[in-house]
Chain A
């Protein structure tokens, strides 16, 4: 790993003031540090945000669950409040990586990285999340813009993620057996007005599958998906799964999720 200057910061202002075109914010470091070791990324300044108290914690109101950016996956997975309000979100957190990753990795880090196979971005899309940054609020459908890309500007810091509590929801994924990243993951959330179905792992970026969402909004049952065609166009094809296989898995895991709701 190339050398850098490490800064531990105590408030958001201090952290964002230090940010530059050659810096990175550090939360759990579960992607940042391995990427730096592999030479895929290098920074002059690493700005640690874990000691900023306001960035950590879980708040549940009747209609929303708000999770601070540096809240660890294990905290979300074990939170009684999250389990009660949105059980599928706690279950998603419990399925990320392994126990040691869950003890360090954070929700803010996961969505800022926007790995095409990460779990949390699908929760953001399905649960109509609002991403709170240090200077604005962005809806999830405008936040994830492409492979490892988000609408975050340089030096902009995620403070919290606010999820809408659905009537019912479920996340089902087909995990890579080694990494537990989603080969395909489908998050189904039934809201009062419509059903959202977010798919991760299948394409270069998480997306809301309008065909599946539309069919389930009309009739919330797995049989409603029998005649929905899933195109493999634009789907990832790699050593783990072909595009056609992924397209098939999207439908199968959407059905599984609906049945488990």
Chain B
């Protein structure tokens, strides 16, 4: 067992978990933050993307113990004062989702892109979302949503 100290969505948490606990399991099963989804569980689909110390990573492929001391932001941490994040608003406005399973990962990944690049081109958005798979084939509207968010962020 390992004691893991993290700051998750601005709150300090300290939990004792099995050494092989990955961050996605820590978030979902220990903290009950089920907004982070697990699709493939082998770092291909991107449904589990969260931010660790400001960078997007796949939470299914990082050990919680390894991230001790880090700041984690999940999809639940985006709402501020009851207001959705501009990226969430844009996904809603542009119908950037169908079933919604991939959406938390898409939103977290897309925010990381806009943190690096203010006005990405369609190609840059598509290249960036390489690691996020949408099985409803909703990519067209996802790209439109990211472009819309870029005008607001």
Contacts and interface: CB of A to CB of B under 8 A. Distances in A.
Nearest to A36: B20
Interface of B is mostly: mixed
A34 B57 contact: no
A48 B56 CA distance: 20
B109 to A, nearest CB: 7
A135 interface: no
B138 interface: no
A6 interface: yes
B61 A103 contact: no
Contacts of A201: none
B45 to A, nearest CB: 11
Contacts of B144: none
B51 to A, nearest CB: 10
Interface string B109-153: 100110000000000000010111000000000000000000000
A98 interface: yes
A5 B42 contact: no
A29 B63 contact: yes
Nearest to B133: A178
B63 A6 contact: yes
Given A99-B130, A100-B57, A29 B20 contact: no
Contacts of B42: 34, 37-38
From A3, A8, A100, name the one whose CB has the most chain B CB atoms within 10 angstroms: A100
A30 B55 CA distance: 16
A69 B22 CA distance: 23
A180 B131 CA distance: 10
Contacts of B44: 178-179
Contact of A100 (B19, B41, B65, B131): B131
Q: How large is the interface on B (under 10, 10 to 19, 20 to 34, 35 or more residues)?
A: 20 to 34
B131 A29 contact: no
A32 to B, nearest CB: 9
A103 B55 contact: yes
Contacts of B49: 100
A104 interface: yes
Contact of B61 (A4, A48, A104, A180): A104
Contact of B62 (A4, A8, A29): A29
B95 to A, nearest CB: 24
From B56, B68, B113, B130, name the one whose CB has the most chain A CB atoms within 10 angstroms: B130
A100 B20 contact: no
A180 B44 CA distance: 11
B76 interface: no
A6 B131 contact: no
A50 interface: yes
B93 interface: no
Contacts of A178: 44
Contact of A33 (B19, B63, B68, B130): B63
A30 B58 CA distance: 10
A50 B67 CA distance: 10
Contacts of A179: 44
A97 interface: yes
A29 B61 CA distance: 7
A3 B21 CA distance: 9
A1 B41 CA distance: 11
B43 interface: yes
10 contacts: A3-B18, A4-B19, A6-B19, A6-B65, A33-B62, A33-B63, A50-B66, A100-B49, A101-B131, A104-B61
Interface of B: 2, 18-20, 22, 41-44, 46, 49, 55-58, 61-63, 65-66, 68, 109, 112-113, 128, 130-132
Interface of A: 1-6, 8, 26, 29-30, 33-34, 36-38, 46, 48, 50, 74, 97-101, 103-104, 178-180
> Which 3 pairs of residues, A with B, have the shortest CB-CB distance?
A98-B131, A6-B19, A98-B130
